Amino acid sequence: MPAINIPEKCLHCGACVGVCPKQAIVLEGEKIKIDKKKCIECKACVLMCPVGAMQIKR
Closest-CA residue to 53 (of 19, 2, 21, 10): 10
| Interface with ligand SF4 (CB under 6 A), residue from 30, 40, 55, 57 | 40
Residue 26 makes contact with ligand SF4 by CB under 6 A: no
Residue 43 makes contact with ligand SF4 by CB under 6 A: yes
Least Cβ distance, residue 22 to ligand SF4 (angstroms): 4
Least Cβ distance, residue 18 to ligand SF4 (angstroms): 9
What DSSP state is assigned to residue 7?
Answer: G
Closest-CA residue to 24 (of 14, 7, 36, 6): 36
